[in-house]
């Protein structure tokens, strides 16, 4: 979870939070957005679909076998019937999955996009049958249903390509049972990269083009922009809430507040150096623009604001919840810290 950072360093702050297996607590945070206004007539966004309910991220879902769920100590449902999932979180928010009009995922790893599909209920016919996801050995084929049958799925074109080809450091993180069933629902954006292809930026180099020129409006009022490093096609999602705050759903460039350090990149990032560069310009933008960040794996209050320090880096400070708060704890879990 901290890549090249030695345990002697990160354990100074994280040590008390580890369990008896050396795992740190994380959440699979998801956010449910409800549209308040339709796009203005004649505006560029007026031609885009404008679903009333949009979901950011879906967590792991409910398809993992017990052995795989135990690896991550996934939070159980109160009745012990399996891992807590986005279905439980939406039920608590009085929202039916069928009413979600669009789902935006930062990237397609199982802990962000696994909830795109679910296990069929008794009497239901699967929408797709094929290899079952899991980390604890090969499993028999199984059938799955679309969790959000009315929703389009929004990701980056590069991410979709890499997911289908399993272009990843981890061999078991892109799974067919949350990818193949949504093929016809995917709307792939092609946002400009922060740096020109082939350029290796300096450690403190900023992108030449501002975020506004690199962001893609995928739905009215909702923009995405590339934040590469963890995956090449990883995206952040930006929108304005009813209080006028600019909120940015922050992907695995900084999964928790413990990852604010410049070199605190995940060991399974496809390009740790790129993650480090992305973290710098991302935090710089957040501090200068007053963004409210929602960290995708933060186990406590996920909302943060970035502030420049006298040392030339950044601190994160807790920020208040949005209206209604996040769908907290869509899947509670422990991730190995070493």
User: Residue 111 is inside which H or E element, if any?
Assistant: helix 110-113
Digit-by-digit pLDDT tens for the chain (338 residues) are 999 999 999 999 999 999 999 999 999 999 999 999 988 888 888 889 999 999 999 999 999 999 999 999 999 998 988 899 999 999 999 999 999 999 999 999 999 999 999 999 999 999 999 999 999 888 999 999 999 999 999 999 999 999 999 999 888 899 999 999 999 999 999 999 999 999 999 999 999 999 999 999 999 999 999 999 999 999 999 999 999 999 999 999 999 999 999 999 999 999 999 999 999 999 999 999 999 999 999 999 999 999 999 999 999 999 987 765 554 434 456 555 43
Tell me what pLDDT residue 59 has: 97
Cα atoms in the 13 Å half-sphere on the side-chain side of 142:
20
Measured between alpha carbons, how far is residue 174 from residues 16, 171, 261 in Å? 32, 8, 27
What residue segments make up the domains of the chain, in order of their start? 7-336
Check if the beta carbon of residue 240 is closer than 8 Å to that of residue 264: no
Beta bridge mates, 318: 304
- Give the largest Cα separation in the chain, rounded: 62
Number of other residues whose CB lies within 10 A of the CB of residue 63: 25
| SS3 category, 174 | coil
Tell me what pLDDT residue 334 has: 59
Q: Write down the pTM of the prediction.
A: 0.95
Burial class (CB within 10 angstroms; exposed 0-12, middle 13-18, buried 19+) of 66: exposed
CATH 2.30.30.90 for the 7-336 domain, yes or no: no
Which alpha helices (DSSP H) does 243-334 contain, by range?
272-289
Check if the beta carbon of residue 152 is closer than 8 Å to that of residue 49: yes
User: Chain-centre distance of CA 197, in angstroms?
Assistant: 24
pLDDT per position as a tens digit, 65-120: 999 999 999 999 989 888 999 999 999 999 999 999 999 999 999 999 999 999 99
66: left (phi over 0), alpha (psi -120 to 50) or beta: alpha
């Amino acid at each position: 979870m901290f890549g090249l950072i030695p345990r002697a360093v990160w354990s100074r702050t994280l040590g008390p939070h580890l369990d008896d297996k050396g795992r740190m607590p994380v959440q699979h945070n998801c956010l449910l957005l409800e549209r308040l206004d339709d796009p203005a007539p004649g505006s560029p966004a007026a031609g885009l679909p404008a679903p009333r309910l949009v979901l950011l991220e879906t967590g792991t879902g409910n398809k993992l076998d017990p052995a795989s769920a135990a690896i991550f100590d996934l939070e159980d449902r109160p009745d012990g019937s399996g891992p807590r999932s986005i279905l439980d979180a939406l039920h608590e928010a009085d929202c039916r999955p069928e009413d979600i009009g669009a789902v935006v995922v930062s990237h397609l790893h199982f802990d962000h996009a696994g909830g795109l599909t679910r296990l069929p209920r008794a009497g239901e016919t699967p929408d797709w049958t094929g290899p079952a996801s899991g980390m604890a050995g090969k499993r028999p084929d199984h059938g799955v249903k679309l969790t959000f049958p009315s929703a389009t799925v929004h990701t980056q074109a590069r991410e979709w390509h890499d997911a289908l080809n399993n272009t990843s450091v981890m061999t078991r993180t892109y799974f067919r049972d949350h990818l193949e069933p949504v093929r016809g629902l995917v709307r792939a954006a092609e946002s400009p990269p922060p740096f020109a292809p082939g350029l290796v930026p300096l450690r403190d180099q900023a992108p030449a083009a501002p975020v506004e020129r690199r962001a893609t409006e995928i739905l009215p009022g909702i923009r995405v922009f590339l934040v590469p490093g963890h995956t090449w096609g990883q995206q952040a999602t930006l929108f304005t809430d009813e209080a006028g705050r600019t909120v940015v759903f922050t992907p695995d460039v900084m999964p928790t507040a413990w990852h604010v350090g410049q070199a605190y990149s995940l060991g399974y990032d496809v390009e740790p150096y790129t993650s480090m560069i992305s973290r710098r310009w991302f935090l710089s933008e957040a501090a200068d623009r007053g963004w409210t960040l929602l960290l995708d794996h933060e186990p406590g209050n996920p909302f943060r604001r970035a502030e420049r320090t006298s040392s030339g880096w950044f601190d994160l400070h807790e920020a208040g919840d949005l209206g209604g708060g996040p769908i907290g704890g869509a899947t509670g879990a422990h991730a190995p810290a070493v």
